[in-house]
Amino acid sequence: MMWHAAGSESKVAPQVLKTILLILKGKPGEMEDYVMERRRLSIDSTNMMPVAASQALCTLLPVASYKKAVAELFPELLMALMLQLFYSSHMSMVVNDGLFYARDALQVLLNCSGLQEVEVALKKRNCWNQFSHELFHHHGIYLVAKTLGDYNFPQFPETLHYLYKLSVEGPKRSEDSVITVIFLTELLNNFFKDPFPEEFLVLFRNWVNDSNPTVSKLSLQKIASMAPVINQIDNVSSFLLAILDSFLSKDKTVVIRALLTLRRLLGKLDKVTYSSLCIRIASSYCPLMDHGNGGIRSMAVRHFGELLKDMSHYRWMLNHVVLGGLVPLILFLEDTETRVVRACKSTLAICASELKWPMSCLFDDQNYSFELVVLNICNNLLISHKDYITELIADTLGFLSSSRAYLRRASVILIGYLAALGGHLLLKDEIDVMLEAIERVVRDEDPVIRKLAEITQMLFRRVARNLTPTNMKQSFQKLFRFIYIPKVKPLYNYNWPSNLTGSPTGTKEIKNDKEGLTYENYEDYLQD
């Protein structure tokens, strides 16, 4: 009776509806808190005013005296009820649809706004029932937006303007952002067959790093679908940088979507822009090679290799990039997941090609040996890029304390060969740091790692004994590094292949030394 009485006064219709819209900004089911006012109700209760406001709209919207005000406030009413539908679908107190006034009010809004065909179509698509199931409420939001677009609803311009306003204003609940993104994306898909206006593209760029993972994934997915368009705008770099920032997300599904979206954009990107960002992009892949999720590790490794192939004409820029990613690419050859190992082999073969290292056949399954790959890479490093050996040793030291046994095992072998081949390039302080790090690994719980670490420790100690901290010695070493290339035999006998005939390094010398090092033969080895 109260709402019918309010509906008889047309002059107050805008104020009544605006007041109801303010109430509909609340979330039903939330506890009312009056901390700021230092008072509380005698009995704590949940906020049911938005439910009452939705119920009031069921009465007020069809009233003839409210028709003009409803038309003016259509976008606000539409989105407020969509949000209330979303909230209501999560309320545990909903029983027998008794509190689904938001759904009823939305149906009334469509019917009294000349959108009866839309309401009938939504019924046929079983849209209203989907809102009562949490798994499908996002699809329900999509259906409403799509159906409005299919019927070319006349309120589109003002609705689009209001959605843009919602998108740039804040702060708001994260679930509100999800609904806004879904609704806006579908309306744009329906009404802009040509590229979106650039101001809307900026919204999707900003949403890439939203605090809500669902919003991030929705925006990344939309950006990927518009790759040819986005690559033509002036500030395409800002999109690429926003995607790189999302690599840091704690949500693995966001990271995966970001990797796929970036790869989609890079495939269409002009080479000038690509080359200006390739070093930044490559350096963003490297941390993901050590991600806790195997799918992300393998994808980052493969995409790193794809980048090297894309930029093959800019080889002079990429040597540092290749060498910067070399340590994780080598260590994750020992990964427990086959997809990561395959990705590392493929990308290392690309790296070897870029660096002109004749070792691609070492990655064939028939000849493959982790230690053999490490030995060949280190030999090639010493010949062509010896200045990077100290940097690679520093990168490898970080993996000695990994919680994953295969990384500790692989890093012990890699750092051993780097020291064996580049020991004459190191200073005493550097060896002391390496000795301190390996001493912790010698006490590892894994017996295989302990055995490998003991060999590496012996090697470090011998190298340390041959070094002194004097300025003369250091100066001599700097000169010595340019005129001396040591010769290293196999150190560890770690998973050697049974047949080395097809390998470029499958020489008689390596075959004869396959027994590896032991305490007994170590001194003889060093003297050789």
DSSP state of 213: H
Q: Which two tokens stand for residue 500?
A: 């080395």
How far apart CA 74 and CA 468 sit, in angstroms, is 82
DSSP state of 46: B
Distance of alpha carbon 256 from the chain centroid = 5
Output the pLDDT for position 95: 44
Output the pLDDT for position 99: 52
Q: Which two tokens stand for residue 228?
A: 């040819």
How far apart CA 289 and CA 274 sit, in angstroms, is 21
- Tally helices (H) and strands (E) across the chain: 29, 0
The residues with which 31 forms a beta bridge, in sequence order, are 46
pTM of the entire predicted model: 0.83
Could you give the C-alpha distances from 257 to 52, 178, 277, 284, in angstroms and in order? 40, 16, 20, 15
Output the pLDDT for position 463: 80
Distance of alpha carbon 110 from the chain centroid = 40
DSSP state of 231: T
pLDDT tens for the chain, 528 residues long, are 778 777 777 788 899 999 999 998 877 656 544 433 444 443 344 567 888 899 899 999 999 999 999 999 999 999 999 988 877 766 544 444 445 788 899 999 999 999 999 999 999 988 887 776 666 778 888 999 999 999 999 999 999 999 999 888 865 777 788 889 999 999 988 887 666 777 888 899 999 999 899 999 999 999 998 888 887 887 889 999 999 999 999 999 999 999 999 999 998 888 888 988 999 999 999 999 999 999 999 999 999 999 999 988 877 777 888 888 999 999 999 999 999 999 999 999 999 888 888 876 777 777 788 998 999 899 888 888 888 888 899 999 999 999 999 999 999 999 999 988 887 777 788 888 888 999 999 999 999 999 999 999 998 888 887 765 554 445 555 555 444 555 567 788 877 665 554 444 443 444 444 444 443 444 444 444
DSSP string, 272-317: HHHHHHHHHHHHHHHHHTT-SSHHHHHHHHHHHHHHHHHTGGGHHH
